[in-house]
């Protein structure tokens, strides 16, 4: 496929994303919540889940992204932590976890496309690193888990520096797992080539079909760690280590 055609298809894909998110955030999901109240949040998230499946199928049919998945997503409410190589990865989680909520940066509230959606979906604002915000986020995560949601967190706090490279994990998600006494599922996301990453232009996305592999790793519980590592830092290290090992393996396979 010629690059100019891929540019047009990519632009169409981005416009489709914006249109679907605006429709969900400004019309569909508010109507569900107005009719059902807060108890309708699950139905509202299910409507987003259906749109995500349709959107990812569109990207596949446009030959822009090939998605591969391995491992088993945790079925019961859990904290899901992953590396964050691409802007697309959180969308994939909405496909695999119909009832999921995510953490988002405060800057998203200034985005006219994303702001209505993240607020109406009950996502959790935070991640500025302050003690006050961290305490609020930990409490909000516990509330969402109690309501039966999966909570998606990218503990690097920003996009990864490379396809198989990680920033050090922040510990907020892991304090939440301990406080809530819930399982934590690590997920390794590998992009080949890296696309929609940090400091990458969207035109780079157009040059070829992009491949993303999402590998769900076995859940970790605090009780499974050595006694001297049963704390947030130990849990963060265990999750980061198994994600890094999985990324290294996928990177070697991609280079063969």
pLDDT digits (tens, 9 = 90+) for 182-228: 999 999 999 998 999 988 877 778 878 899 999 999 999 999 999 99
pLDDT of residue 31: 94
pLDDT digits (tens, 9 = 90+) for 34-81: 888 767 888 999 999 999 999 999 999 999 999 999 999 999 999 999
- Other residues' Cβ atoms within 10 Å of the Cβ of residue 4: 9
Strands 210-216 and 184-192: antiparallel
Please check whether residue 171 is in contact with residue 222, taking contact to mean a CB–CB distance below 8 angstroms: no
Please check whether residue 173 is in contact with residue 79, taking contact to mean a CB–CB distance below 8 angstroms: yes
Quote the mean pLDDT of the chain. 92
SS3 of residue 19 by DSSP? helix
The whole domain housing 56 covers 3-255
pLDDT digits (tens, 9 = 90+) for 217-251: 999 999 999 999 999 999 999 999 999 999 999 99
Question: Which pTM does this prediction carry?
Answer: 0.93
CATH code for the domain in which residue 51 is found: 3.40.1130
Q: How many folded domains does the chain comprise?
A: 1
Residue 132 buriedness (CB in 10 A; 0-12 / 13-18 / 19+): exposed
Mean pLDDT for 172-186 is 93
Backbone angles phi, psi at 36, to 5 degrees: -110, -10
Of 83, 80, 78, 79, which Cα lies nearest the Cα of 168?
83
């Amino acid at each position: 496929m010629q690059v100019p055609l891929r540019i047009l298809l990519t632009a169409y894909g981005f416009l489709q994303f914006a249109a679907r998110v605006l429709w969900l955030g400004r019309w569909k999901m508010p109507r569900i919540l107005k009719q059902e109240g807060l108890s309708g949040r699950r139905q509202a998230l299910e409507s987003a889940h259906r749109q995500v499946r349709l959107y990812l199928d569109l990207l596949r049919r446009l030959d822009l992204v090939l998605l591969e998945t391995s491992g088993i997503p945790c079925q019961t409410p859990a904290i899901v932590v992953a590396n964050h190589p691409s802007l697309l990865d959180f969308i994939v989680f909405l496909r695999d976890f119909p009832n999921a909520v995510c953490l988002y940066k405060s800057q998203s509230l200034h985005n006219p496309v994303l702001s209505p959606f993240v607020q109406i979906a009950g996502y959790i604002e935070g991640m500025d690193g302050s003690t006050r915000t961290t305490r609020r986020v930990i409490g909000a995560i516990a509330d969402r888990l109690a309501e039966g949601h999966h909570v998606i967190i990218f503990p690097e706090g920003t996009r990864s520096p490379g396809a198989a490279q990680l920033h050090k994990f922040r510990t907020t998600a892991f304090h939440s797992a301990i406080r809530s006494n819930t399982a934590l599922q690590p997920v390794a996301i590998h992009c080949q080539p890296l696309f929609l990453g940090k400091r990458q232009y969207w035109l780079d996305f157009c040059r070829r079909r992009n491949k993303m592999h999402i590998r769900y790793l076995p859940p970790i519980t605090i009780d499974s760690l050595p006694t001297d590592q049963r704390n947030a830092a130990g849990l963060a290290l265990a999750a980061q280590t198994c994600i890094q090992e999985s990324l290294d393996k996928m990177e070697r396979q991609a280079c063969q």
